[in-house]
Amino acid sequence: MVAGRRKVLFKRSVVESILSYSKMCYPNEGILLLRGRKTRDTLEVNGVVIPPGAMHGRNFSSFSWFFLPPDRSYVGVAHSHPSGAMEPSHQDILHSSGSIMVIAGYPFTDEGCISVYDTEGNKMDFSVED
Ligand SMILES: [Zn+2]
């Protein structure tokens, strides 16, 4: 663990929302904004928002931050990989925004299908709380 890196904590309802939204969008990619709270050593993700104007394709999903009010409670973006790949693509890293990037890989069954990365594409540990 890198010094100074925050611990990522998900509410279980957030994990469930990401997985069910990913299933709903399948075979296209789904994308969700993550809301949460940052403290000195923890990043807590406690809600998801379907981005306005989201576009979904088989290999891409995008939205425009233009539609969103400036809001510091957005901590990152989650999107699904219908291919099942758990690694961020080059494009994902180029376009990552916020503090974390969450990738849900097919078949979206449980938290084992979720990976968390920082904005440089380094994998981060996370835990889920009820
Ligand atoms: Zn991706």
For residue 64, being part of any structural domain is answered with yes
Q: Ligand 1 centroid vs 128 CA: distance in angstroms?
A: 22
Q: Ligand 1 centroid vs 21 CA: distance in angstroms?
A: 15
Average pLDDT, the chain: 87
Q: Domain tally for the chain? A: 1
Q: Ligand 1 centroid vs 24 CA: distance in angstroms?
A: 17
For residue 76, being part of any structural domain is answered with yes
Position with higher pLDDT, 44 vs 65 = 44
CATH number at residue 11: 3.40.140.10
Give the amino acid at 95: H
Residue 31 Ramachandran class (φ > 0 left, ψ -120 to 50 alpha, else beta): beta
Q: How far is CA 36 from the centre of its chain?
A: 12
**Structure confidence at residue 91 as a pLDDT band (50, 70, 90):** confident
Q: Ligand 1 centroid vs 11 CA: distance in angstroms?
A: 22
As a whole number, mean pLDDT of residues 13-20 equals 97
pTM (2 d.p.)? 0.87
**Structure confidence at residue 18 as a pLDDT band (50, 70, 90):** very high
Q: Rounded CA gap, 50 and 116, in Å?
A: 19
Residue range(s) defining the domain that contains residue 16: 7-129
Four-CA torsion 6, 10, 14, 18, nearest 10 degrees: 70
pLDDT digits 0-9 by tens, 31-51: 899 999 998 889 999 999 887
For residue 21, being part of any structural domain is answered with yes
For residue 1, being part of any structural domain is answered with no
